[in-house]
Structures are given as C-alpha cells and as structure tokens.
C-alpha cells in the first residue's frame, strides 16, 4: 500500500489546458473515486497518475517518491481498463501470469500468486478457459486478477464497469468493494456513474471542466455540494433549482409564484432583496400538510415507479421534480403545494455559482 499526493497538476495539449491545477492527497489504503461527465478530464488525470501521459506542471508522488519522470512500469501501479485488454489466445491462467513471467519471476511464485488471486475472485474453476468462453463479468474479474498478482502499491480503475449490463454492474460493484476491503490496496477509480461513485468511494473527487470542483466523502458531497455544478450532478433525479429573493426579515425566501420558504438559523448573510438560487432535492419535497409556506407545483406528468412516485411539473416558469416515498395518485394538471424542511435547502450565488453558507 501507498499514499498518493497530487500537487497543482496541470496538463496541456498544445496551447489548450485541460487539467487545471488539481491537488489531492490520497491516504494509504483509501478508495478514491474520480467522478464527472464525459470530457471533464477524469480519465486524463488517471493517465497522468499512471504515467501514460506526461504532466505539464505540478507534482505526483506515490509512497513519498515523486514519479513525474518515471515510466509506468517503474511506478508500482496496476491498471484495470474499460475494455478488459485480455489476450484472446491465452487461457485465464496465462493471462494472469503473463506479466509476472516476462519479469522472470520464479514459476512457483507465479503459480502461487495466480492461484491465490483466482481464489479471491472465484476464478479457480475457470483457469483453463479462454476469454471468449467467459461472460463480461468473468472477463473483468480476470482483468482485476492480472492486477492483483502483481501486488502493486496502487490500483487504478478506468471505468471498468461501463461495458457491463445494469444487473452485472451492481454485482461487480459489490465485488470490487469486497476486494478492496480484503486487500486494502490504495485504489483510484474513474467513473461517470454517480451510483458507482457513491457506493464505492471513501471520498470523491468531482471533476468539472478539468478542475476539482469538490473533494469529500459521498455524504459530504451529497449534503453540502460546494457549487451549482456539484449540486446538479450528484443525485438522481437531479436537484431542483429555483430563482428566489431574500425577504425583508432575512429569514425567508420569496419565490416567483408568490409563496415563500423558511430558512434555518440566522438566514442568509446579505441584504434584503438579494437574489439567490434555491436548491432542493426531489426526495426532500413533500406535500405541505396545511403549512402557510411552501412551493407551488403545477403538475405536468406523474411516474409511478412502485416503491415511489416521481412528479414532474413547474413552479412559475421553472421545472420541478418531486420524489414521493410511496405510490400516490396525483392527477395530471393538479396544483399541489410542497414543503421542504429548512435544513434540507441549499443556497447558491447566481454569479459565482458557489454555495452560500447559511
């Protein structure tokens, strides 16, 4: 195991900078997930750590050793790719053993490591098969086994579950987490899937346009998003955003439909009339139960999902989605008034997009 230190790392292709001064300290044995949409720079950052791309400036250290100028083979890392990258003409055993054999490791040690990894990944009965005889999940386990046998200091995962169907992805998520808890090897996992990120990561690095928008535990990122991008990206359905204005008493927000909502604590540290963006997650809205305050929703569409109900509509001119905890019959074109607990509200500055602390 090893810690990984990323200090002010940038990457340019020509005059275009695509990684903008990312810094993060990854503790020994930690499982870090780099999360973000396509094109945000998450895979590029992973390739910089692996040595597959050369950094433009900054510093990357693994186990206290700066690796900026080291080749990938010298960094003591192992990488699992999205496309498995197995040799089709080799058996499972030979695929897992190949990297050790070219390093001229003694045959007995190679056999010990391969069979130990196969046991961990439940591949012992498949060692004589070739990749074409395996399912997608089994191939991915072989790819992970090939990394395990190297006994590296750091595992790097580049969207390893993207080619699997939904059911198999759930299974593989659990297997990867179980594997990490057993081996306790420092792991860095790249994905665009927030469910993978929330369930796998000890901490998340949420990437936006080449920068780290927020670094924190899954719960921290969910409950206290640092800016509008993080708030809108984390959560499904996505957080609702409403234009609002601070009331004269500084303790309430006035909404475009004329209703208002209470703020917790001392309210917003700003003058009356200040414009803000109010964020509230669909699962935190509920029928107001006769309260005087609330958010008025004109219903457009209702989705009955069994365990819960999604209600889509508009608050003034702004779209709004509500997740209700059970199946509720709500007529299309109905108007309902919703309440959000003050402690569940999020406020953002319309200009800087940053979170406003209440």
**pTM of the predicted model over 0.95:** no
CA atoms within 13 A on the CB side of 80: 29
CATH class of 239-356: mainly beta
The overall average pLDDT reported for the chain is: 89
Domain ranges of the chain: 4-232, 239-356
Query: Where is 175: in which H helix or E strand?
Result: helix 166-183
158 token code pair: 């580049």
Contact 121, 152 (CB under 8 A): no
The number of residues in the chain equals: 358
Asked if the domains 4-232 and 239-356 are classified in one and the same CATH topology, the answer is no
Q: Which two tokens stand for residue 90?
A: 């080799």
Distance CA 58, CA 224 (A): 29
Report the helix count and the strand count for the chain, using DSSP H and E.
8, 21
Residue 358 pLDDT class (50, 70, 90 cuts): low
CB 122, CB 111: distance < 8 Å = no
Longest CA pairwise span in the chain (Å): 78
Place of tokens 């692996």: 50
Phi-psi region of 207 (alpha: psi -120 to 50; beta: other; left: phi over 0): beta
Task: Tell me which residue of 170, 204, 261 sits closest to 32, measured CA to CA.
Answer: 204
In the chain, what is the straight-line distance between the N-terminal and C-terminal CA atoms, in Å?
40
Confidence of residue 6 (pLDDT cuts 50, 70, 90): very high
State percent of the chain over pLDDT 70.
95
| Domain 4-232 belongs in CATH node 1.10.10.60 | no
Residue 127 has pLDDT above 90, yes or no: yes
Q: Which is higher by pLDDT, 228 or 252?
A: 228
Checking if the pLDDT of 292 tops 70, the result is: no
Q: Give the confidence band of 166 by pLDDT, cuts at 50, 70, 90.
A: confident
45-60 per-position pLDDT tens digit:
999 999 999 999 999 9
């Amino acid at each position: 195991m090893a810690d990984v230190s990323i200090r002010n790392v940038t990457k340019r292709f020509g005059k275009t900078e695509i990684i903008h001064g990312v810094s993060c300290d990854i503790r020994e044995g930690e499982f870090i997930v780099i999360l973000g949409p396509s094109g945000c720079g998450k895979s590029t950052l992973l390739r910089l750590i692996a040595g597959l791309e050369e950094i433009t400036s900054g510093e990357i250290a693994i186990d206290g050793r700066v690796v900026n100028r080291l080749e990938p083979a010298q960094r003591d890392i192992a990488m699992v790719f999205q496309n498995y990258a197995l040799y089709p003409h080799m058996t499972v055993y030979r695929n897992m053993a190949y990297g050790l054999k070219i390093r001229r490791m003694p045959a007995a040690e190679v056999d010990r490591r391969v069979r130990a990894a196969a046991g961990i990944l439940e591949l012992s009965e498949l060692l004589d098969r070739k990749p074409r005889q395996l399912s997608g999940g089994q191939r991915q386990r072989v790819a992970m086994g090939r990394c395990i046998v190297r006994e590296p200091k750091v595992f790097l995962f580049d969207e390893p579950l993207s080619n699997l169907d939904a059911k198999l992805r759930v299974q593989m998520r659990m297997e990867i987490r179980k594997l990490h808890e057993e081996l306790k090897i420092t792991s860095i996992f790249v994905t665009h899937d927030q469910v993978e990120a929330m369930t796998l990561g000890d901490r998340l690095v949420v990437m936006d346009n080449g920068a780290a928008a927020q670094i924190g535990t899954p719960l921290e990122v969910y409950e206290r998003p640092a800016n509008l991008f993080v708030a809108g990206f984390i959560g499904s359905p996505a957080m609702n955003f409403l234009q609002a204005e601070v009331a004269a008493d500084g303790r309430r927000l006035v909404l475009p439909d004329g209703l208002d909502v209470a703020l917790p604590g001392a309210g917003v540290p700003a003058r009356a009339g200040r414009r803000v963006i109010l964020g509230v997650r669909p699962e935190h809205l509920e029928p107001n139960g006769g309260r005087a305050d609330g958010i008025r929703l004109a219903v457009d569409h209702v989705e009955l999902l069994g365990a819960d109900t999604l209600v889509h509509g508009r608050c003034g001119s702004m779209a709004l989605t509500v997740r209700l905890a059970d199946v509720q019959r709500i007529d299309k074109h109905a108007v309902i008034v919703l309440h959000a607990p003050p402690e569940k509200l999020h406020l953002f500055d319309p200009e800087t997009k940053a979170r406003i602390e209440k």
